[in-house]
Structure 1
Amino acid sequence: MRSRVLVVRQDNLGDVLLAGPCVRAVAAAASVTVLAGPRGAAAAALLPGVDDVITWRAPWIDPEPEPVERADVERIRETIARCDFDAALVLTSFHQSPLPTATVLRLAGVPWVGAISDDYPGSLLDLRHRVPAGLPEAERALSLAEAAGYRLPAGDDGRLAVARPLPPVEGLPDRYVAVHPGATAPARRMSPGRLAEAVAALAAAGHDVVVTGAASEAGLTAQVAGVHGLDFAGRTSFAELAYVLERADAVVAPNSAAAHLAAAVGTPVVSLFSPVVPASQWRPYRVPQVLLGDQYAPCRGTRARECPVAGHPCLETVTPGAVLDAVESLVREGRLREEITR
């Protein structure tokens, strides 16, 4: 009988996608359940190797946390206890502690718990794994699985991936560039007006443009699409968004779930990257890309959610022409690869 392992990643969609190689390594030897937050559960359901998803908003992880309530913590403890897991791996970003979650897992009776932790864990962890600073986030998570004795199966190259088949989406052009303006942290977004100028430049150069976003972002996507792009706000689930991004010639996106989802389906990315977090850790993983944005701007390394610098210079200095040039260089490379592989 295969062992049952809980893999915990409790924050956003992109963070969960970056846990994919770790999940696949564990799934090669065990049945995997992912404990995700409500902001990331849709990505967990899309990861290859995941047998089940438990959703819970952790007040020590969620960026807009609810108060810590005993009854809420007791409910998730009981849920985990009923599942009778053999082990758990707690994945966190470099600035998060796994120890509150490890406490809940211990109280739920999970017999073996591993996590990356610089803090002394006492009896909370069986595996206290440490990693060098600056590792790409996908490799950081995979290193925990490897330290726990799990390995990617033969033929798995460790890139990001999604489960197939993806649900098709109607109404897309034959060839197009996808532009995704949204990100959970405002500091990571280019202004709608500036990005609308880039969409206009793409359209003027002959590219069809599809602008994607959630229904809640309809005002944003309408402004960015203007009269030049097709506004797809609210028209896709997360799995359908993966289909839209996979069929695109290139994706233009900030440091967001869309950029990581594009990487997971193998589409080149023009990354509008604000340096509030390090690009070395969070840029699109192992996919053709062009990184735009001043990586030495004053906001560098602040982890700010709201831009701390007047005028948002790290992204507002990126010109529409630079976005167009980046897209066209990636499209040329992609079409050359298509011709070579025919």
Structure 2
Amino acid sequence: MTRTLAVRLDSLGDVLVTGPALRALAAGSDHLALLCGPRGRAAAELLPGVDDLLCWRAPWIDPEPDPVARDDVEDLVALVAAGRYDRAVVFTSFHQSALPTALLLRMAGVPWVGAISEDYPGSLLDVRHRFDADVPEPERALSLARACGFELPPGDPGALAVRTVVAEPSPVPYVVLHPGTSVPARAWPAEHYREACRLLTERGTTVVVTGGPDERDLTALVAGGGGIDRGGGTDLGELAGLLAGARAVVVGNTGPAHLAAAVGVPVVSLFAPTVPVERWAPYTDRRVVLGDRDAPCRGTRATTCPVPGHPCLSSVTPAQVVAAVTELGGLAAPAPSATLRRIP
């Protein structure tokens, strides 16, 4: 029996975009385990092809890391060793190093390890894949799986996907607004979301506002524009069902954008160019991406906007968002003055 360990140690969206590569690993393995971080675990539980989950907070990956503790590291090494994996594939974003993880895998006795690495890996990697192209992150991850000898199964198109999701029943069509983001630099102003909610509801469109338990004040503010507030009311699986039943979803560059793409709903992506849009826009053809891709914050990976007024997203108007929702969701035509500013 061939036992494979995949590693993706960062956040919800990062885990979701690795899904196609994980399905390739699963197709070439008898058993696939995924080592993920606590921020990505809820997404990992939704991915097809994963047989087992391990969870560990990596101090070189997590944005709010705990101090490095020897006992904690030794516990992970023991946990991986107990799995008796034949091989491991370490998935990272373009700005992360796979080598600390590879070192721990070697200490756990994993005999074969593959990863993308620009740095010299010495004896840490059996496959050192080098990949610089500006392609969507799911394709970058899949290129590593292929370099390690894995292919998607026949008939799998390589799209984002989650385990079977039942769309939440609704007597009327609805649009979802998800105003929260993992970092402030990626957030469209809350007042803009509230105004978009008002414009949509005035035209007879039902609007559902979603968010996590720590975003209830934000969702209440946005839903005050006439929407239904579901802030803090869904776990990730329930959110997937809610998104799956929507006509369109309006969301920033954050995990639920990738979840929306995975369940096949059209996405209006409000994208701050702090990371490359070519890599991180929702991986779907059913999208409109709005924002100033040439803003001064481009490529900074800033978590808090470094430019006064947050112009890359504050310049996107609620009317533009309503027009994009109308285009994707097949709703009634917006006011003639509403125009789109696209990022292909």
Query: Fold-level match, TM-score > 0.5?
Result: yes
Tell me which amino acid in the other structure corresponds to 2:25. V
Counterpart in the other structure of 2:151: 151
Does the C-alpha gap of structure 1 residues 295 and 137 become closer, same or farther in structure 2, counting only changes over 3 Å? same
Contact 2:168–2:244 (CA under 8 A) maintained in structure 1: no
Partner of 2:24: 25
Contact 1:180 1:252 in 2 (8 A): yes
Deviations along 1:189-219, one digit per CA (max 9) or x if unpaired, are 1121121111111112221000111111101
> Paired residue for 2:243, among 245, 249, 252?
245
Q: Report the number of matched residues.
A: 330
Residue of structure 1 equivalent to 2:120: 120
How many percent of aligned residue pairs carry the same amino acid? 58
Q: 1:307 is matched with which residue: 290, 305, 308?
A: 305
Q: How far 1:114 moved relative to its partner?
A: 0.3
For 2:319 and 2:233, locate their aligned partners in 1 and report how far apart those are by CA, in whole Å.
Answer: 29
Partner of 1:337: none
**1:303-342 equivalent positions in 2, closer than 5 A:** 303-332=301-330
Q: Distance in 1 between matches of 2:247 and 2:167?
A: 17
TM (norm. structure 2) is: 0.94
Give the equivalent residue in structure 2 for 1:83: 83
Bigger shift: 196-205 or 209-218? 196-205
Normalised to the residue count of structure 1, the TM-score between the two structures is 0.94
Q: Residues of 2 paired with 1:266 and 1:53: CA distance?
A: 25
Matched residue of 2:51: which SS?
Answer: strand
Equivalent-residue separation in structure 1 for 2:232 and 2:210 (angstroms): 8
- Secondary structure of 2:181 counterpart: coil
Tell me the alpha carbon deviations over residues 53-103 of structure 1, each in whole angstroms, 9 at most, x when there is no partner.
111100000001111111110111100000001111000000000000111
- Structure 1 counterpart of 2:185, one-letter code: A
Q: Which residue of 2 aligns with 1:10?
A: 9
**Aligned twin of 1:69:** 69
SS of residue paired to 1:50:
coil
Moved over 4 A (4+): 167-170
Once residues 135 and 67 of structure 2 are traced to their aligned partners in structure 1, the CA distance between those partners, rounded to angstroms, is: 32
Report the residue type matching 2:152 in the other structure. Answer: L
DSSP 3-state at the match of 2:259: helix
Aligned residue number for residue 275 of structure 2: 277
CA distance in 2 between partners of 1:69 and 1:174 (Å): 53
SS of the residue aligned with 1:5? strand
Residue of structure 1 equivalent to 2:232: 234
Contact kept, 8 Å, 2:7 with 2:35, in 1: the verdict is yes
Any conservation in 1 of the 2:258–2:283 contact (CA below 8 Å)? Answer: yes
Structure 1 position 229, deviation (Å): 0.7
Partner of 1:338: none
CA RMSD of aligned residues (A): 1.2
Deviations 1:135-178 (A, max 9, x none): 210000001110111100110000000011x36657x5521001
Q: Tell whether the 8 Å contact from 2:167 to 2:244 is kept in structure 1 after alignment.
A: no
Amino acid at match of 2:106: R
In structure 1, runs of 5+ residues without a counterpart are: 334-342
| Residue 290 (structure 2) pairs with residue 292 (structure 1) | yes
CA 1:236/1:287 → structure 2, altered by over 3 Å: closer, same or farther? farther
